[in-house]
Amino acid sequence: MESVIKISNCTPEERVKYGVCSFQDKSLEWWNSIIQNLGEEAAYSLTWSELKDMLLKEYCPRNELQKIEYDFLNLTMEGADIATYTSRFNALARLVPRLVTPEYARIERYIWGLAPEIRGMVTSSKPDTIQSARELAKSLTGMTVFARGY
C-alpha cells in the first residue's frame, strides 16, 4: 500500500483517504467502526503513521510480532542464495522497522545474516548504505570460489 501511495504522489493529508479505499471485508468493517467511534472528520484526519499503528494493533497481535521479530533476528543466508536472503530480509524489515532504524542498524542486521564466508569482507568494506552492502554481498556470492564451496 505504501508503494502505491508513493507512486500516486498522495500528499500526507490524502494518504489515509487513499489507503482506506482499498479496504475490503473485515478491514472495511473495522474502518467503518473507526468512523463511527471517532467521527468521519477525525477518522480521515488521522496521519498515515497513526493509521498504521491502529492497523498493527488490530491485525498484528504482539505474539505475532514477536514471531516475526524472532524470524528476522535469526534470518541467515542459506548457501550462496543471496537473492532469497535479501528478499526475505526486505520483507521482514518492513514488518519490524524498529529493528532496522536508523540506517546503520539496517546495514548491520543485513550483514549479520550473510554467509560467514562473505560477512567479514562486507563488514570490512564499511558500507554506508544498505544498497552498497547488498551490491557487495551480491558480487561476492557470484565469485566462483565462494560458489564452489557449496
pLDDT of residue 4: 85
Query: 77 with 85: CB under 8 angstroms?
Result: yes
Residue ranges of domains in the chain: 2-59, 62-148
Between these two residues, 90 and 61, which has the higher pLDDT value? Answer: 90
The Cα-based distances of 12 to 1, 20, 55, 91 in angstroms read 14, 14, 18, 24
Task: Give the mean model confidence (pLDDT) for residues 61-71.
Answer: 91
- State yes or no: pLDDT of 145 exceeds 60: no
Question: Which of these, 139, 140, 134, 80, lies nearest to 103 by C-alpha position?
Answer: 134
Average pLDDT, the chain: 91
Please tell me the predicted confidence (pLDDT) of residue 57: 86
Model confidence band, residue 2 (pLDDT cutoffs 50, 70, 90): confident
**pTM (2 d.p.):** 0.69
CA distance 87 to 99: 17
CB atoms within 10 A of CB 104: 13
